[in-house]
Structure 1
């Protein structure tokens, strides 16, 4: 009896193509279960978790009564939901909130420029400076909240019971334990 017959069967019983396909499937299953690869996100490998403060600026937030916003939702010591790059991070503590004065540059007769309070032509626009306090993992590429790197200039979306607006990161402070 020949090892390979005229129809390409091994010992007249097993087709070589079927045998090859079965070996590939077995190798794939073996590779998945024996060598599954790294688990977890890349940001968590070799990272330590430390406290972080993130300063955010909000420009031109349209709100009828900022004080009502501060009393009912966005308040110091409270928590807000944060979304970074369309990825929900979760809740983070609001360490401080400050309403920034609206100013305009006014040219003086002598050619100098003074910054004076805005005469409030738009009463529904306000600027805010927020400081958020949380815990971040520090990697070689910088701090990471959730699975998103935090860098100056990044947009954060803040969401709460009665608000949803975007802010921009202007400062990051890592605190030692």
Structure 2
């Protein structure tokens, strides 16, 4: 008995083309279900998250009652963040430091002193340094919060119950 007959069948019963098609289908099924690999997931998703602290500076925030805003930060302890117009989750408000408004005043002897700004309108303009804390993915190119890279100079929009303003990152600590 011959292995292949004149019509290309194995042992006179099974076509080689049918056998090849069945083998291809079997390999595809094994490839999809048994060895799924990493398709559909980003490389960032495989990086472990670590605690991060981000210092941001707020310059010239116009607010009628700065003390009420500082108290709101102390009570809420969380803020929504938006990076590059994309919501990036929430971060904890760790500390908020109000910076005094100063003005350079020349002295008669030629030196310059930094004194508190006496103008009334500066009472409604506030400078702040805030420390935000949360979880981030640390990659070779920096920290990633909510799918967005956070580096010095990155603009982060803070949004809460009754505030929405932009800040600039001045320090990133992991």
TM-score class, shorter-chain normalisation, is: 0.7 to 0.9
After TM superposition, the score normalised by the length of structure 2 is 0.73
Do the aligned partners of 1:77 and 1:96 also contact (CA within 8 Å) in 2?
A: no
Structure 2 unaligned segments of length 5 or more: list them: 1-27
What does residue 82 of structure 1 align with?
81
User: Whole-Å Cα distance in 1 between the matches of residues 88 and 77 of structure 2?
Assistant: 16
What is the alpha-carbon distance in structure 1 between the residues aligned to residue 108 and residue 50 of structure 2? 53
| 1:93 match | 92
Structure with bigger gyration radius: 2
Give the alignment's Cα RMSD to 1 decimal.
2.1
1:35-54 map, 5 Å = 38-45=39-46, 47-54=47-54
**Higher helix fraction (1 or 2):** 2
Unaligned runs of 5+ in 1: 1-29
The structural deviation recorded for 1:90 is 1.2
Shift in Å, 1:108: 1.8
Count of aligned positions: 141
User: Partner residue of 1:152?
Assistant: 152
Q: Is the 8 A contact 1:76 1:94 kept in 2?
A: no
Q: Deviations over 1:22-77 (max 9, x none)?
A: xxxxxxxx8xx9699732334334x2211000001100000000111223x32266
Conserved 8 A contact 1:76-1:96: no
Instruction: State the TM-score, normalizing by the size of structure 1.
Output: 0.72
**Cα distance, 1:117 vs structure 2:** 1.0
